[in-house]
Amino acid sequence: MCINYETEESSFPFEIIKIISKGTIVRDKRSQLVTDISRSPSDVEMAPDQYTRLSQVSGVRAIKAFYSRVWKTKTTKYSANFILDGHHICSNSTFPYLLILIPSIIENVDIRNSIRRTWGSVCANSTKTQSTFMNVSKLVFIVGNKPVSDELNYVFREEHAVHGDIVQADFNDTFYNLTRKMLIAFNWVNKFCRNVQYILKADEDAFVHIPRLLMFLKSQKHDTNGVMYGYKYGSSRVSRFGKYKVSKDEFPRQYFPPYLSGTSYVISSDIILQLVTLAEYTPYCPIEDAFITGILATIAGVSVQHSRRFTHLLEKIVPCEFVQNKIAVTGVNIQCRYFLWKLIMRMSEENICRQISHSDISTTCPIFMHE
Give the CATH number for residue 28.
3.90.550
> E strands along 146-247, which residues?
166-172, 198-202, 207-208, 227-233, 236-237
Query: Which residues span the domain enclosing 100?
Result: 1-40+50-312
- pTM of whole model > 0.85? no
pLDDT for residue 116: 96
| Start-end of H helices in 251-333 | 272-280, 288-290, 297-300, 319-324
Burial 4-19, CB ≥16 within 10 A → b, else e: bbeeeeeeeeeebeeb
Q: Is residue 361 part of a domain?
A: no
Query: Rounded to an integer, what distance in angstroms lies between the CA atom of residue 27 and that of residue 221?
Result: 32
Contact 233, 39 (CB under 8 A): no
pLDDT for residue 350: 61
Cβ burial of 116 (10 Å; 0-12, 13-18, 19+) is: buried
Instruction: Using the predicted structure, report yes or no on whether residue 43 has a pLDDT greater than 80.
Output: no
- The letter for the amino acid at 137 is S
Question: Average pLDDT for residues 188-201, to the nearest whole number?
Answer: 94
Q: Is residue 13 part of a domain?
A: yes
Q: Is residue 175 part of a domain?
A: yes
DSSP 3-state assignment of 115? helix
Q: Is residue 282 part of a domain?
A: yes
pLDDT digits (tens, 9 = 90+) for 273-330: 999 999 998 999 999 999 999 999 999 989 999 998 998 876 777 777 777 789 999 8
Query: Would you place residue 66 in the very low, low, confident or very high pLDDT band (cuts 50, 70, 90)?
Result: low
Q: Is residue 367 part of a domain?
A: no
pLDDT for residue 31: 33
Q: Is residue 334 part of a domain?
A: no
Instruction: Using the predicted structure, report yes or no on whether residue 135 has a pLDDT greater than 90.
Output: no
Instruction: Using the predicted structure, report yes or no on whether residue 141 has a pLDDT greater than 70.
Output: yes
What is the H or E stretch that residue 259 is in?
Answer: strand 259-268
| Start-end of H helices in 71-142 | 109-117
Q: Is residue 365 part of a domain?
A: no
Q: Is residue 326 part of a domain?
A: no
Mean pLDDT score of the chain:
77
Count of domains in the chain?
1
